[in-house]
Structure 1
Amino acid sequence: MKDQYGRTIDYLRISITDACNLRCRYCMPESAAGCALEQAEQNPPLTVEEMLKIVHAAAGLGITHYRITGGEPLVRKECVELVQKIKAVPGTASVGITTNGVRLASCARDLKAAGCDSVNVSLDTVDAAEFAALTGRDALEQVKQGICAAKEAGLLVKLNAVHRKELHAQELIEFAEQEKVPVRFIEVMPVGAGKSYVGPSNEALKTELEQWYGACTPDQEKEGNGPAAYVRYEKLSMPVGFISAIHGKFCGSCNRVRLTSRGFLKLCLCYENGVDLREVLQNGTAADLRDVMAQAILKKPMEHCFERPKDMTEHHLMSGIGG
């Protein structure tokens, strides 16, 4: 369907849990993890059946692309089952998953068999000591094994790296070249714990990389369904992507909405705007659910206001929204 600004909304990101087995400083530090656990006990995540009802309603509105997120989606045991059932919904074009990769090695083949099309692995460093300091866990080798397992299973793999001041982009790019997978650099968004980080510009990074890898040109191939802008460097075989929410606003082409693990349909990361679908799931019909979702999507905001933090109304952790 189209929103009030004429944008086609065909992409739903579904958070299936707030829980995570890492404690990344810019996302869910230890101090916030306890609050997330307490909230989960008081207000549990949607069941698989409830999420599927929402997916069927979304399909009726023209949503064709789905991405499973968290928290860390692979800590929820029904993750593979959910992928399989979403892929079976008529009209589904793709189902992907965004993961930190820690548990990926053990379930990559099952994900592929369930119909998963792609896996985005969050990886901010390939230095073991820095990884442990950033995430609170000594799990880099498990992530690397997960990436290899996903590739061997036939899944399309991409790496996501948050563009922090401490970023060692060259090391990540060389790892991506070695593994023959694209890497995307994501500007830090001032959501949740991310508000304490002042992230550099992707445009500056793009120019800096030319010193190492030669001139870059826009990638002519479509690499996915999201907002990443890909370029090709002369000395690299793999494309490099940039998701520049702060310094390269792409709201005019935004095609997505988000479902939190507790059933809130969120329209933009910047604002609390949206609708609680749990009440409709419990008391309404399938037609009611579709109508409520349609009315909410129609009101999707024109653009975010990350450049004006005082105007933001979203105060939840990113893990509680769905990364």
Structure 2
Amino acid sequence: MKEFDIQEYMTHGVERVVSDAIKATLKNPKESAYMAKFAMASRSASKKRARLEAEGEHIPPFLIASITSSCNLHCAGCYSRCNNATEDTEPVRQLSDDDWLKVFDEADDLGVSFILLAGGEPLLRKGVIEAAGKKQNILFPIFTNGTYMADKYFDMFDKNRNLIPIMSIEGEKDATDKRRGDGVYDKLISNMDELNDRGLIYGASVTVTTENLKDVSSESFIGKLSDKGCKAVIFVEFVPVTDDSAHLAPGDEEREYLKKEIMRLRQEHPEMVFVSFPGDEKSSGGCIAAGRGFFHINSHGGAEPCPFSPYSDINVKETSLREAMNSRLFIALQNEGVLNDDHSGGCVLYEKRNEVETILGRA
């Protein structure tokens, strides 16, 4: 059996997303023109990563950057609030706009193609979003609750096509407002209409649970998003951070159902990009966190394996992004096989958090 090649696996994943994005924007000249340029930049970035791989240094194509710890919503079951990583007010000692620009510059130099901006609520950090807009070689999906979207952001997205708003939605109105708060669904629909009218590309992020799995993958829901101009749907499997919410986490049966539905949706909706996170890691070489395929930088600069695994032994404010990618914690997680360990499915790092804490104590 051929040995699993993480570099090849991640490169093919990037190529598929870029290819799907080009097809999804063919009828939109501005977006199609940008995506064609980004495809060239992405190929160049892949070559950079391949050169470094040949020299013994693995560079992941993705970063997840939580650019703020502040959020205005209190969504039921939010992993970030349960981990005390999100607060109502803007904390002190977060990375500045310039700090984040430095991270983006280093990522560009190393061949990182995608930086997912998250929070908290990332649109609270307008200066960081503006800094991201300057890095046209990198695509920045911005995971937002959508409540702060106004003309200043619509105009910014129009000017900087590498900024892609990804709005969180739980399905239809009742499900969305139940988890996110009254009136959120109507605001999201209003945003979608405005983005569509302006010809701007955007996507939706859906937290998949055992309760909404069939609804959020249905033609009724996906067809409605497509009609409103949505070009990407990112299915994020619910990760329980409290024992009383464990029943909401998809198991093997639900994950297999979602996998088949995504295959169907890709065939029936070529105008959209579909991504599942974390996806079926048990049959695709293991977890891609901790620098294998991506890692997470929290709002204070701590380099963590994943947003669901908030442990860090190095800070990008005090060191380079390159050094953070090779942190002792990340190397230990990879070398000791935790990322490939057998588990019940879903998030291996959350399930094996005691082992992660033990490794952190040694790192």
> TM-score by structure 1 length?
0.70
- Matched with 1:226 is none
- Matched with 2:186 is 141
Matches of 1:33 and 1:291, distance apart in 2: 26
Report if aligned partners of 2:77, 2:240 keep a CA contact under 8 Å in 1.
no
Q: Which amino acid aligns with 1:231?
A: R
Unaligned runs of 5+ in 1: 211-215, 218-229, 281-288, 316-323
- Matched with 2:26 is none
Identity among equivalent pairs (%): 17
Residue of structure 2 aligned with 1:189, choices 239, 247, 252:
239
- Matched with 1:257 is 295
Matches within 5 A, 1:45-60: 45-60=94-109
Asked whether 1:293 is paired with 2:324, we answer yes
Report if aligned partners of 1:163, 1:202 keep a CA contact under 8 Å in 2.
no
Matches of 2:159 and 2:169, distance apart in 1: 24
Change (3 A) 1:133 1:95: closer
- Matched with 1:227 is none
Unaligned runs of 5+ in 2: 1-48, 358-363
Report if aligned partners of 2:70, 2:88 keep a CA contact under 8 Å in 1.
no
- Matched with 2:207 is 162
Matches of 1:122 and 1:300, distance apart in 2: 34
Higher helix share: 2
Q: Higher RCO, 1 or 2 (CA under 8 Å, sep at least 6)? A: 1
C-alpha distance after superposition, 1:71-102 (max 9, x if no partner): 11112332432223444xxxx33233121222
Report if aligned partners of 1:103, 1:142 keep a CA contact under 8 Å in 2.
no
Q: Which amino acid aligns with 1:133?
A: K
SS of equivalent residue, structure 1 residue 149 = helix
Change (3 A) 1:153 1:16: farther
Higher strand share: 1
Q: CA deviation at 1:32?
A: 5.2
Range moving further from structure 2, 266-275 or 118-127 = 266-275
Matches of 2:299 and 2:242, distance apart in 1: 16
Report if aligned partners of 1:267, 1:300 keep a CA contact under 8 Å in 2.
no
Matches of 2:101 and 2:179, distance apart in 1: 35
**RMSD over equivalenced CA pairs, Å:** 3.7
- Matched with 2:256 is 203
Matches of 2:296 and 2:141, distance apart in 1: 14
SS of equivalent residue, structure 2 residue 204 = strand
C-alpha distance after superposition, 1:40-79 (max 9, x if no partner): 53x4321101111222233333323222211111123324
Matches within 5 A, 1:1-323: 1=49, 8-27=59-78, 36-37=86-87, 41=91, 43-87=92-136, 92-106=137-151, 107-127=153-173, 129-167=174-212, 168-169=215-216, 170=218, 171-181=220-230, 182-191=232-241, 196=246, 197-200=248-251, 201-207=254-260, 216=263, 231-233=266-268, 236=269, 238-239=271-272, 241-245=274-278, 247-249=280-282, 250=284, 251=286, 255-269=293-307, 271=309, 272-280=311-319, 289-290=320-321, 292-296=323-327, 299=331, 301-302=333-334, 303=339, 307=344, 309-313=350-354
Matches of 2:96 and 2:79, distance apart in 1: 23
Change (3 A) 1:193 1:152: farther
Report if aligned partners of 2:172, 2:221 keep a CA contact under 8 Å in 1.
yes
Change (3 A) 1:9 1:274: farther
Matches of 2:181 and 2:161, distance apart in 1: 32
SS of equivalent residue, structure 2 residue 327 = helix
> TM-score by structure 2 length?
0.64
SS of equivalent residue, structure 2 residue 225 = helix
Q: Number of aligned pairs?
A: 280
Matches of 1:126 and 1:274, distance apart in 2: 41
Change (3 A) 1:147 1:165: same
Matches of 1:151 and 1:166, distance apart in 2: 30
SS of equivalent residue, structure 2 residue 112 = coil
